[in-house]
Chain A
Amino acid sequence: DVKVTQSSRYLVKRTGEKVFLECVQDMDHENMFWYRQDPGLGLRLIYFSYDVKMKEKGDIPEGYSVSREKKERFSLILESASTNQTSMYLCASSLPLAGGDQPQHFGDGTRLSIL
Chain B
Amino acid sequence: AQKITQTQPGMFVQEKEAVTLDCTYDTSDPSYGLFWYKQPSSGEMIFLIYQGSYDQQNATEGRYSLNFQKARKSANLVISASQLGDSAMYFCAMRDYTRSGSARQLTFGSGTQLTVLP
B43 within 8 A of A: yes
- List chain B residues, Cβ under 8 A from A13: none
Q: Determine the distance from Cα of A57 to Cα of B99 in the docked complex, in whole angstroms.
A: 7
A104 CB within 8 Å of chain B: yes
- Name the interface size band of chain A: 20 to 34
Q: Is the CB of A104 within 8 A of B110?
A: no
- Within the complex, the shortest CB–CB distance from B1 to chain A, in Å, comes to 13
Tell me whether B99 and A59 are in contact (CB under 8 A): yes
- Binary interface encoding of chain B residues 1-44 relative to chain A, with 1 for a CB under 8 A from any of its CBs, else 0: 00010100100000000000000000000000101010000111
Q: Would you mind naming 23 contact pairs between A and B with Cβ atoms under 8 Å apart? A: A33-B105, A35-B108, A42-B6, A42-B108, A43-B108, A44-B108, A45-B105, A56-B98, A56-B103, A57-B100, A58-B98, A59-B107, A101-B52, A103-B35, A103-B47, A106-B37, A106-B44, A106-B45, A107-B44, A108-B43, A108-B44, A109-B43, A109-B44
Interface size class of B (residues with CB under 8 A): 20 to 34
**Given known A-B contacts A42-B91, A56-B100, A108 and B33 have beta carbons under 8 A apart:** no
Q: Do the beta carbons of B100 and A103 come within 8 Å of each other? A: no
Residues of B within 8 A of A (CB): 4, 6, 9, 33, 35, 37, 42-47, 50, 52, 91, 93, 95, 98-100, 102-111
